[in-house]
Structure 1
Amino acid sequence: MTFANRVNALRSLLHEKNIHAYIITSSDPHMSEYVPDRWSTRQWLSGFTGSAGTLVVTQEKAGLWTDSRYFLQAETQLAGSGIKLFRMGTAGTPTQNEWLSDELPIKPNVGFDGTCFSVAQTRELKHKLGDLGINIEEEFDLVNEIWENRPELPTKPIYDHEVCYSGQTRYSKLLNIRKQMEEFECNFHFVGSLDDVAWIFNIRGNDVDYNPLALAYAIIGVESATLYLNEGQISNELIQKLAEDEIYIADYTRVFNDLSEIAGSSNVLLDSNRTNLNIFNSISANIIERENPSQLLKSLKNEVEIEGMKNAMKKDGVALTHFYYWLEENIDKTKITEFTVMDKLKEFRSLQKDFKGESFGTIAGYKDHGAHPHYSTTPESNVEIKRESLLLIDSGAQYLDGTTDITRTIPLGELNEEEKTDFTLVLKGMIQLALAKFPRGTRGCNLDILARQALWKSGKDYGHGTGHGVGCFMNVHEGPQSIRQEIKDQALLPGMITSDEPGFYREGFYGIRHENLILCCPEKTTQFGEFLNFETITLCHFETKGIITKLLTPEEREWLNNYHEKVYEIISPELDDKHKNWLKEKTKTI
């Protein structure tokens, strides 16, 4: 079926079941960013492959809401589907709930798959559409009725993430979580988000693209815990190791039954943003709603994790040096396309020790494709790369000891003054954030201006956040911290690793983004309190031929020269003479 036919098939079911609107999110039962194929429902229906977006189908119309990262991509992928694109955050664009308020009759029936809709999302929907007398139909997985040959649940092995990488035993992590359960007077803690489950229990898997996670739920009691997963995915050896810490295994689908049997007088701690509605409705006990304690705990990297992340950056830096050398030597000598770039990056990284895969789908945006912040190359869009204009490459890797995420924008030919100016202004923003010194308690929204100020002074800006948390052999996008304009209460704390990635995009021409990962560290304590700073841990050169040096302040030039000196010092011992000499030239003082 075409995408238009799929939407029409769903619409026929809406008429049949008297449902006025059906909502399809990007999520799975665990509220994940990247989902197993079985739950790529929105993509299957609409053709839109971005990681963020919500599809709403009524009996007459259909719309997809996504943010500025995906405007150009969504416009292309939705063509011919009959689905209207709604550009979130732009003037005059209604939210999906505002649109539904206008489109739906009084007392409408609004449906969704309750296993893929969070408690928080449901409450917002009821609040926004309350005046209509909305009736929620959460039991219907309507797409399942029209999706022939829908993928089954994953079956790949689950494995132990050893303490030499995690730096903390699962027993110790459970103790810390139980302390917070006690503080909230809770007998049980339900955990549904896959990264929280993986971190708490020191397990990893291959059930989700890019993130080393296993499909699982968990219920933590005051003395024991139960992991709900596909029992065929876990070895007897690991089952025995878990049992030593009073952690037991049950079938993935049994979690609903076990939650329903918790005594009504008990208190269950859960995170309503990370718990699906059907799970929530199966609990008859008292529910205490708080952010999962593991969200903050896992963001505060311990010494072993920090050392592992730095080691992963070193390996990644070696792979990237080989890649960029290869690119420079071979462009115009052999046909290189965006797909070639993606394949070669993975090839060079795969030669590094403990490489486990990419941490997200590589963005290789040549010329105007780089203006799509989250561009995804397709067979139709794939173009040959030549020695002209700009190439934006945003990529990352998963190693057993850490996760990487890096963006470099490469001038492939002579740049004009406008291109060099934009290149330099974005770099100035990245450096200014890396140089930040701030008092403990500072939030990411307080620092976001540092990355934008140079652009703002020129009347320019970018439409995405500046920084996201990064896990340690975990999700490349991790909370609870972030650096963006929107207010978020979580302060930046020592041990947190966050991206530093301002950008600038000229639609139809090029995109520029520079990205390193930064580690929050103690700076000093004065009479005014404790101050923190950032240590840049990514190790890869910047192409200085794109820089207008006079636009850099002396402090910014010093930072860049010191950074390049560090890159060469750490990476060069791992290189042969050919690559070492090349890197020496790339990192010379400006």
Structure 2
Amino acid sequence: MTVRERIEKLQELMKKQDIQIYIVPTADYHQSEYVGEHFKARKYLTGFTGSAGTAVVLQDRAYLWTDGRYFIQAAQELQGSGIILQKAGEPDVPAMEAFLKQELPESGVIGFDGRTVGVAKGQEYAKIASDKGGSVRYDLDLMDEIWEERPALSEKPAFLLDIRYAGESVEHKLARVREAMEEQKADVLVITSLDDIGWLLNIRGNDVEYFPLLLSYAVVGKDGVELYADERKFSDEMKAYFRENHVTLYPYDGIYGRMKTFTKEQKVMLDPEQMNYALFSNISGEVQKIQAENPIVLMKAVKNPVEAENIRNAHIKDGIAHTKFMYWLKTNIGKERITEMTASAKLEEFRGMQEHYMGSSFGPISAYKEHAACAHYSSTPETDVELKTEGLFLTDTGGHYWEGSTDITRTVALGEITGEMRRHFTTVVCSMLHLADARFLHGCSGLTLDYAAREPFWRQGLNYNHGTGHGVGYLGNIHEPPVNFHWKRVPGKSKYPALEVRMVITDEPGIYIEGSHGIRIENELMVAEGEKNEYGQFLHFEILTYVPIDLDAIALELMTEQEKKLLNDYHQKVYEKIGPHLTEEERCWLREYTRAIG
């Protein structure tokens, strides 16, 4: 079926069910940012392949809301579909909720699969419908009825994360979690986020593309843990491990029935920002609900000393691979045919040579010239282009190693570039360096510090339409909430926690010029302890990523002496840390590309 035919088929089902508006988000049952193939219903329905977006279908037309990362990409992919693109946050574009209020007729019904919609959203949809004298239907997965050959749920095996990588035992983690439960006077804690369950039990899986996570739910009690997952995924060794740690296995879908068994005498702690609407609605109104942030979120964001040291080692491996790739690219461009996709495959090949490499940590971005203006462009056989000895080429990639996960972006000049490109490149580099060099008091958040990165842009009347950085998980989500750098409070993101020692966060400013070029430079940072004096505890950042920044694209005259020093100091460390692991030819090249400037 074409996209138009899928929309029409969905609209036919809506009419049969007397549903006026049907919502299809980009979500699984766990409010995960990235989802497995079984859950990519919005992609199937609309043809839009970006990782964020919501389809809103009326009985006679269809819309797609997405954010600034995907405006260009969505406009291209929706062509000919009849779907109307709504650029979220842009002037004259209504918020999706305002649109629903406007378009839902009196006594109308809003439909959605309640397993794929968060509590707050579900409650908001219910209120919008109620205000119109209508209702919601959250028990219908209409997409399942139109999706031909829908991929099955993953059946891949789970695995244990050894203490030498996890750095903390399950017993100790559970003690910390139960202490947090005791503070809230909770009898049980319901956990629905995959990365939090993986962290708590030191287990991982292969159920989400690019993320080593296990489809599961957990209920933590005072004496044991109920784990709801496909039992076939666990070896006898893992089952014995669960018994040792008082973890009892139940069927994956059994969680929905379990929610109905809580009694009014029990105090159930849950995080409404992580739970889906269907699960929440299954809990009786008589049950005492303690709605609070899942305590694991911040526990997990602060890496323990073992994790921190492992992460440093993972970044050395990743730096070796990426530096080898840059050398290969710079010395072979124009001599052999290289495309976006073959270049991406070559980078993956270099990563695969590193010990303990497990695979990509997210879908690689390999974007040449104007393709890089789409912040989250994904090259396909249809869009794959050959790289020439001109213009800019951007790669945003990462890897999972047993020692941790990485995320790095580099933009390189493949030949002649314009003066504007050079100015933009230098602005991005200076922005990244400014933030990495920040010194700040404990208590500051990413909301406070984002200005350090934006200032070089704003001084020129420029900006970029995404956050400057995100938290990074340890063999979990590469975009790990709640840590982030952003200059303003974003609707739906109410948490801007203070930065703590050993939190890991990316530093990735960029600029995107439609039809011309895109530039982004990304390093990972770890929060480190500075001096403590009468003013308080000072903090700074330790740079984790060590890969050269392309001096061929720098405009030295646009940099201050301090910015030149920051770049020189960084490049000196790159050479010291990565050089010893390269061949003589690669090392000579690296020496030239990390030379002191100015």
TM range (shorter): over 0.9
Quote the residue 1:165 is aligned against.
165
Quote the residue 1:95 is aligned against.
95
Quote the residue 1:507 is aligned against.
514
Deviations 1:360-419 (CA, angstroms, capped at 9, x unpaired) = 111111111111111111222111100101011111111111110011110111222211
Secondary structure of 1:23's match? strand
Quote the residue 1:375 is aligned against.
377
Q: 5 Å matches for 1:105-504?
A: 105-128=105-128, 130-284=130-284, 285-487=287-489, 488-504=495-511
Aligned residue identity for 1:349: R
Larger CA deviation: 531-540 vs 556-565: 556-565
Deviations 1:499-522 (CA, angstroms, capped at 9, x unpaired) = 000111111100111110011111
Aligned residue identity for 2:181: M
1:575 and 2:575 matched: no
Secondary structure of 2:478's match? coil
Quote the residue 2:492 is aligned against.
none
8 Å Cα contact 1:86/1:93 also seen in 2:
yes
Larger CA deviation: 254-263 vs 571-580: 254-263
Aligned-partner Cα distance in 2 for 1:102–1:82: 21
Aligned-partner Cα distance in 2 for 1:507–1:127: 39
Quote the residue 1:81 is aligned against.
81
Instruction: Say if 1:261 and 1:131 are closer, same or farther in 2 by CA, change over 3 A.
Output: closer
Deviations 1:312-333 (CA, angstroms, capped at 9, x unpaired) = 1000011111111111122111
Aligned-partner Cα distance in 1 for 2:434–2:134: 49
Instruction: Give the CA deviation at 1:133.
Output: 2.8
Larger CA deviation: 209-218 vs 92-101: 92-101
Aligned residue identity for 1:252: Y
Aligned-partner Cα distance in 2 for 1:215–1:29: 9
Deviations 1:274-333 (CA, angstroms, capped at 9, x unpaired) = 111111122233211111111100000011111111111000011111111111122111
Larger CA deviation: 243-252 vs 305-314: 243-252
1:519 and 2:521 matched: no
Aligned residue identity for 1:452: R
8 Å Cα contact 1:391/1:412 also seen in 2:
yes
8 Å Cα contact 1:271/1:290 also seen in 2:
yes
Instruction: Say if 1:80 and 1:423 are closer, same or farther in 2 by CA, change over 3 A.
Output: same
Secondary structure of 1:252's match? coil
Instruction: Give the CA deviation at 1:128.
Output: 4.8
Secondary structure of 2:115's match? coil
Aligned-partner Cα distance in 1 for 2:50–2:64: 11
Aligned residue identity for 1:491: A
8 Å Cα contact 2:107/2:129 also seen in 1:
no
Aligned residue identity for 2:594: T
Aligned residue identity for 2:565: E
Aligned-partner Cα distance in 1 for 2:480–2:390: 36
Instruction: Give the CA deviation at 1:248.
Output: 1.5
Aligned-partner Cα distance in 2 for 1:134–1:114: 17
Instruction: Give the CA deviation at 1:589.
Output: 0.9
Instruction: Give the CA deviation at 1:195.
Output: 0.7
Aligned-partner Cα distance in 1 for 2:308–2:400: 15
Aligned residue identity for 1:158: A
Aligned residue identity for 2:584: D
Aligned-partner Cα distance in 1 for 2:9–2:74: 21
8 Å Cα contact 1:97/1:129 also seen in 2:
no
Quote the residue 1:538 is aligned against.
545
Instruction: Give the CA deviation at 1:68.
Output: 0.7
Q: 5 Å matches for 1:43-82?
A: 43-82=43-82
Larger CA deviation: 119-128 vs 54-63: 119-128
Alignment RMSD: 1.1
Secondary structure of 1:315's match? helix
Instruction: Give the CA deviation at 1:475.
Output: 1.0
8 Å Cα contact 1:309/1:402 also seen in 2:
yes
Instruction: Give the CA deviation at 1:129.
Output: 5.2
8 Å Cα contact 1:407/1:515 also seen in 2:
yes
Secondary structure of 2:527's match? strand
Q: 5 Å matches for 1:554-569?
A: 554-569=561-576
Aligned-partner Cα distance in 1 for 2:88–2:539: 34
Aligned-partner Cα distance in 2 for 1:127–1:443: 33
Aligned-partner Cα distance in 2 for 1:78–1:307: 45
How many residues align? The count is 590
Instruction: Give the CA deviation at 1:78.
Output: 1.0
Quote the residue 1:39 is aligned against.
39
Quote the residue 1:552 is aligned against.
559
Aligned residue identity for 2:361: S
8 Å Cα contact 2:158/2:206 also seen in 1:
yes
Aligned-partner Cα distance in 2 for 1:61–1:100: 13
Aligned-partner Cα distance in 2 for 1:52–1:27: 9
Aligned residue identity for 1:178: R
8 Å Cα contact 1:338/1:383 also seen in 2:
yes
Secondary structure of 2:540's match? strand
Instruction: Give the CA deviation at 1:123.
Output: 2.0
Secondary structure of 1:307's match? helix
Aligned residue identity for 2:545: T
Aligned-partner Cα distance in 2 for 1:162–1:350: 21
Instruction: Give the CA deviation at 1:130.
Output: 4.8
TM-score normalised by L of structure 2: 0.97
Give structure 2 stretches of 5+ with no counterpart: 490-494
Aligned residue identity for 1:421: R
8 Å Cα contact 1:98/1:128 also seen in 2:
no
Aligned-partner Cα distance in 2 for 1:49–1:308: 33
Aligned-partner Cα distance in 2 for 1:445–1:127: 31
Deviations 1:81-136 (CA, angstroms, capped at 9, x unpaired) = 11100001110001112122222211210000011111111123234555323301
Aligned residue identity for 1:506: I
Secondary structure of 1:505's match? strand
Aligned residue identity for 1:189: L
Aligned-partner Cα distance in 2 for 1:124–1:323: 48
Aligned-partner Cα distance in 2 for 1:107–1:520: 52
Instruction: Give the CA deviation at 1:587.
Output: 0.8
Aligned residue identity for 2:400: Q
Larger CA deviation: 330-339 vs 41-50: 330-339
